[in-house]
Amino acid sequence: MKTLITGGAGFIGGHLATSLAASGHHVDVVDNLARGVRDVFIESLIAGHDGRVRLIAADLLAPDALSDLDATYDQIFHLAAIIGVRHVLSRPYDVLLHNAVMTDRVLAFARRHASVPRVVFASTSEVYAGTLLQGMLPIPTPETAPLVLPPLAQPRTSYMLSKIYGEAMCHASGVPVTIIRPHNIYGPRMGMSHVIPELLKRADEAPEDSSLDVFSADHRRTFCFIDDAVRQIRGVADAPAGAGATINIGCNAPECTIAELAELVVQTVGKRLRIVPGPTTAGSPARRCPDTSLVDALSGHRTRVSLAEGVASTYAWYKTAVFTSGGATAI
């Protein structure tokens, strides 16, 4: 099979490309490297699969970004987007416009080449944020939960709105599309702007018998290790019933508080540290837990990596690749 991944040099894209290549796929990774990093991980991915993986430096905002690609893809995974709180707060108009334009480029490419059997569009769990704010969100959250918009003037609304609009574009495109909504995916090479690597770094650097400040300590989450998420994504992309479906990606258990997560991080790092609850992060949802019955049924995959195992694997990678060497990671 031949696969195209936009945003493939990023966290989920890089691990997805690695899994596909290991299964014998030819994989074209399109990325402008504004967020993704051409690091040892990506270089090893390219070098280690006998020419079956290509990194194509291209910006999807350019009208001709995909014009040199052929029409022989079996699957397209559209992961490219402007994401991250820093960008969302400082560039809300760009988030709204550019995410829609990039989605249009991919859908237009798929329409021109009707032989593409499936496009997978990466939406976000943030689409449920307005519903949660109004106290209307069932937990665990099914894909059928109504989507309520928070105030449009808030910059943070821009990202979730761009993804809701992207979902609508997919439904109206006439292209066979599967929409995925990832929930708290974590693992090696995910950057530092996320709770697990951020806690790991601060715990790793903290002196013995000191304290670890934990923000939003009472907020509750479920976390999904990247290997499980990739298996889910590949499973729904291959499933005939995945066409036209909107599917949560993630785990529905165990649900833990951020304080409990911090305790696990401290145990993993192996230090005596006191957990000190800090202030609540503005805009952070108090609770997030997906209903995963649909992805379980369509992908045939259930969670295999426990939170303790996943945090340990993540720490081992960051300890070597980032905390000790100061290496760069995807953001």
Q: Does the pLDDT of residue 192 top 60, yes or no?
A: yes
Domain 2-187+223-251+288-305, CATH homologous superfamily name and number: NAD(P)-binding Rossmann-like Domain (3.40.50.720)
In sequence order, the 6+-apart residues with CB closer than 8 A to the CB of 232 are 224, 249, 250, 295, 299, 301
The helix or strand, by DSSP H or E, that contains position 81, with its residue range, turns out to be none
Q: Does the pLDDT of residue 327 top 80, yes or no?
A: no
Note the pTM of the prediction, 2 decimals.
Answer: 0.95
Q: What is the pLDDT of residues 3-43, one digit of tens each?
A: 999 999 999 999 999 999 999 999 999 999 987 788 999 99
Q: Are strands 185-186 and 224-225 parallel, antiparallel or unpaired?
A: parallel
Q: What is the pLDDT of residues 148-191, one digit of tens each?
A: 999 999 999 999 999 999 999 999 999 999 999 999 999 999 99
CA atoms within 13 A on the CB side of 242: 28
**Residue 113: per-residue pLDDT:** 84
Q: Does the pLDDT of residue 72 top 80, yes or no?
A: yes
**CA 15 vs CA 5, 188, 237: distances in Å:** 11, 9, 15
Task: Give the start-to-end residue ranges of the domains of the chain.
Answer: 2-187+223-251+288-305
